[in-house]
A and B are shown apart, each in its own frame.
Chain A
Amino acid sequence: MIFAKIILKKEEEIMAKKVLIVDDDVDVRTFVSSVVEDIGYKPELAKDGEEGIGKVKKEKPDLVILDILMPKESGIKMYRALKTDSQFSDIPVIMHSGIAKRTFLRSQKALDEFGDQPVPEPEAYLEKPIEPEELGATIKKFLS
């Protein structure tokens, strides 16, 4: 019985869905990854959008939690790269930012009008700071 449990656990780990966390703030990365782990998923970390895109290609995450304001404008760039690539556009993205949702959407609209390819709204938008329970619940909504 115990053995079975151990094996099950192992399988769970192997099979655990991957959540890619992209944020330039080490505190946020640590906190979010801890929450992801606590609800039974596997966190992958990236400290900016460039690294994030690399991780998406390599790890094929089931969910991306993405900051907007990062060095080299890479939050917005990465979001656009994801949503305009048919290979990745199905991966749900939770925007996790200090910027108010309204402000973000307006900036996206402006970019669309400037001739960029229009992109859909993110699947979820969480404003910092976020409570672990709410973050956990939002992640579960997409993965279970």
Chain B
Amino acid sequence: MSKLLLIDDEEGIRKVFSISLKSDGYDVATAASGQQGIDLFQQEFFPIVLTDIKMPGMDGIEVLRRVKEINPEVEVIVITGHGDMESAIQSLHLGASDFLTKPISNQLLSITLKRAEERLRTKKTLNKYANDLWNMVREQTEEIKRRYEFEDKLVQRSIDGIVATDKEGNIIIFNSAAEEMFGYTENEVKGTMNAGDFYPEGITQKISDVFAGKDRKASDIFVGDEASVIAKSGKAVPVRFSCAMLYEGDKPIGSVGFFQDIREIKRLEKELIKSERLAAIGQTIAGLAHGIKNILNGLKGGVYIVNTALKKGAAGWSEEDKIDYSNTSALPLQSRFLKRAADITAERERQQKKMKTGWDMVERNIHKVADFVMDLLTYSKEREPEYEKYNPNIIANEVCDLMESKAKECDVDLIRDVDREMGEIYLDPKGIHSCLLNLVSNAIDACIFDSDTQKQWHVKVRTRCEKKSCVAFEVIDNGCGMDEETQSKIFAEFFSTKGGRGTGLGLLVTQKIVNEHGGTMDVASQPGKGTVFTIRLPGKKV
């Protein structure tokens, strides 16, 4: 039941209306003057106020004004005298919701009040809507704030430096990792520096191309380039840089750069390279030392033999040989003397032979040193082959001639199989000669190191003209072969399967010479079955 305040100075009207309104279901309070009405209103809330305009003392207009002051939501309906349009209009201006003109029919009154009630209801609903809306806005605002704070923390706590710019390239975000990395504070950077001070040169250009519309979307993300940024201290900081354009819809609005600090990685890389280099040097030195030590042992042995032979060979007549003239029972002096002389001579001869053996050993090892040093030089120096017109078959035959006796000594058949169609090509005869010699001598070693003594070993030296004027040398043996592990190591520095006899340089030098010719070298091998080495040279025919 709606409450209603009725203000009128005429008692008759108050009575009549009260009855009529109560019967309509309103809870009616009445006041006989404007002042009384306001007093009542201040004590109690009435959503609808019905007031007469013309009253002694405080008139209806004033009541309207006061009520609206106290509560602008209240529906105030004024009652005007017949023909008092002016008051009606004034009161509407002041916020009255409706007016009734005397004489007032009950019907009109109830319609007017119903409208007022309808307005109140509408207002209430609107208020509720407004409230809901307000709550929603507040919640959303809080969510946005929370999210912003979260994202800000995300940016600030990132280990990577993050620098974001607006459309003009002004820096708007410069996180703490960036501060730490580049030595500037966010305040120093904001408004004074721009993207170009931190982004790599090419990227800045690309970004401005995107803004200028020259390069749309095509290059809006630049990932993982290594770059260096000049920090405040003037030092270059190595970073891995990624960058993304920021868009609003289709429109680019800025860019963000991510800087990964790679100072530590760079330092470790440098250390690794250094230690790898040291390890390589160490390995080389160990290989060298091993090679030299083996030869040195040979030399030392030779020197020892020569020295002992020298000492013993120098021994001649001694104190004991002084003839004891008093001893007459002994053999005749002369024959004793001759016998001793013959012995000494024989011993000297023996020692001289020994000296020769020792000296041969020294010489052999001096040759080994020379070969070793030559191999090292060939291997370590960049060198152009000394090209000559030459028939590869000649080299094959020369090498076979040279190795014939060693092969025979080791029970290995040396077979020649040269291509009769072979013509002259350009090659370095000395270089290729040493390559082939190396391969044939390896092949013979592979035979004598084979444990299968039932085999009739052979080494075949073959030359072939291949298509596209390519010349191939093949050295084929049926010796001990190599397992895969050995095959993978044979071109490594100082790798040898021959213990003290190998320097671990032979194949390395051979491969290098072949490569210098622009050729290739292949190996195929099976343990226990044998090995095929193939050298292919691009034979420019004369």
Write the residues of chain A forming the contact surface with B, with a CB cutoff of 8 angstroms: 1-3, 5-6, 25-28, 30-31, 34-35, 37-38, 50, 69, 71-73, 77, 98-99, 128-129, 132
Contact = CB atoms under 8 A, between A and B. Distances in A.
A129 B300 contact: yes
Nearest to A69: B499
B39 interface: no
B357 A73 contact: no
Most chain B CB neighbours (cut-off 10 Å) among A31, A72, A99, A129: A31
18 contacts: A2-B321, A2-B336, A3-B336, A6-B339, A6-B343, A25-B500, A26-B361, A27-B361, A27-B364, A28-B301, A31-B305, A34-B305, A71-B410, A71-B450, A73-B451, A128-B297, A129-B293, A132-B304
Most chain A CB neighbours (cut-off 10 Å) among B301, B305, B320, B339: B301
B340 A2 contact: yes
Nearest to B297: A129
Given A3-B336, A34-B304, A129-B297, A27 B450 contact: no
A100 to B, nearest CB: 12
Contacts of B336: 2-3
A27 B298 contact: yes
Interface string B164-178: 000000000000000
Contacts of B501: 25
A31 B304 contact: yes
Contacts of B321: 2
A34 B308 contact: yes
What are the 7 tightest A-B residue pairs by CB atom distance, in nearest-first order? Answer: A31-B301, A71-B448, A129-B297, A73-B451, A27-B298, A34-B305, A69-B499
Interface string B446-476: 0011110100000000000000000000000
Interface stretch (B65-73, B147-155, B324-332, B383-391): B324-332
B506 interface: no
B41 to A, nearest CB: 114
Interface string B327-369: 1001100001001100100000000001001100100110000
Most chain B CB neighbours (cut-off 10 Å) among A1, A34, A38, A99: A34
Interface in B261-294: 293
Contacts of A72: 448-451, 453
B331 A30 contact: no
Contacts of A77: 451
Given A3-B331, A72-B451, 17 more contacts: A2-B320, A2-B340, A5-B320, A27-B298, A27-B301, A27-B364, A30-B305, A30-B358, A30-B361, A31-B301, A34-B301, A50-B453, A71-B410, A98-B499, A99-B499, A128-B500, A132-B304
B177 to A, nearest CB: 55
Nearest to A34: B305
A108 B287 CA distance: 28
A31 B339 contact: no
